[in-house]
């Protein structure tokens, strides 16, 4: 079993839609939960970062972690064409040394 | 400007010919790591380094070597590359130990024929 499972998509939505991206993880020792955005031919860039469980909001983006069900979510409100990218979820244990990534979900926002 | 710089960005080589992918960071971060990204498999950690002269294996270390002799540099060495090491490679750093915030380089696309 992979440490992190992510819906691969692809996902295509109209501009202005609410997007929901999801991952599950297997190891209850994971304490750091991240979402990275990766544009074509670029390195991943950190979008949202959460320690332990709960919600975190930053502008149009909301990250949720439910440790009881080992579920990670990213919500994008009022999606824009510039949000078109691949979104990677990631986790790490408390030590923060090893990182485990989902396979990524490709999102296209249609104008 | 904070940067993680990888070289080369693109490389085509042949089986068995030793190569090194360099990674340099200007953020004074102690932690550095290497990943490979493959379709359907996502990003997988190869090696990481907590500090100078301190390295440890990630999920997929076979066929790779690393060294950390200076804080800013963390080269990835393929001593005898094979076609299954054809991949997109990323170097990343982070500013503290108990944090999940990685800063990635732009990637190095390697093809082994």
- Find the chain A residues whose C-beta atoms sit closer than 8 A to any C-beta of B: 4, 6, 8, 32-34, 36, 41-46, 49, 51, 88, 90-92, 94-104
pLDDT of residue A26: 93
Of B42, B50, B97, the CB nearest to A101: B42
pLDDT digits (tens, 9 = 90+) for A3-31: 999 988 899 999 999 999 999 999 988 98
Placement of tokens 């500090």 in the chain? B51
- Chain A: give the shortest CA distance to residue B48, in Å: 7
The C-alpha atoms of residue B92 and residue B90 are separated, in whole angstroms, by 6
pLDDT digits (tens, 9 = 90+) for A57-84: 999 999 999 999 999 999 999 999 999 9
């Amino acid at each position: 079993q992979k440490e992190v499972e992510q819906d691969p998509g692809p996902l295509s939505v109209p501009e202005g839609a609410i997007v929901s991206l999801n991952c599950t993880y297997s190891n209850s020792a994971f304490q750091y939960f991240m979402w990275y955005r990766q544009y074509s031919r670029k390195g991943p860039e950190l979008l949202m970062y959460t320690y332990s469980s709960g919600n975190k909001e930053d502008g149009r983006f909301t990250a949720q972690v439910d440790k009881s069900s080992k579920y990670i979510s990213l919500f994008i409100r009022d999606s824009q064409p510039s949000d078109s990218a691949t979104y990677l979820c990631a986790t790490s244990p408390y030590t923060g040394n090893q990182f485990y990534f989902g396979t990524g979900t490709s999102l296209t926002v249609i104008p | 400007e904070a940067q993680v710089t990888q070289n080369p960005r693109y490389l085509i080589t042949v089986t068995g010919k030793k190569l090194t992918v360099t990674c340099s960071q200007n953020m004074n971060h102690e932690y550095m790591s290497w990943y490979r990204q493959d379709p359907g498999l996502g990003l997988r950690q190869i090696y990481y380094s907590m500090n100078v002269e301190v390295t440890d294996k990630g999920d997929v270390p076979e066929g790779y070597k690393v060294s950390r002799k200076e804080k800013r540099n963390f080269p990835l060495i393929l001593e005898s590359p094979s076609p299954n090491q054809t991949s997109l490679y990323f170097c990343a750093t982070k500013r503290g130990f108990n944090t999940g915030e990685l800063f990635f380089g732009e990637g190095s696309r390697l093809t082994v024929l």
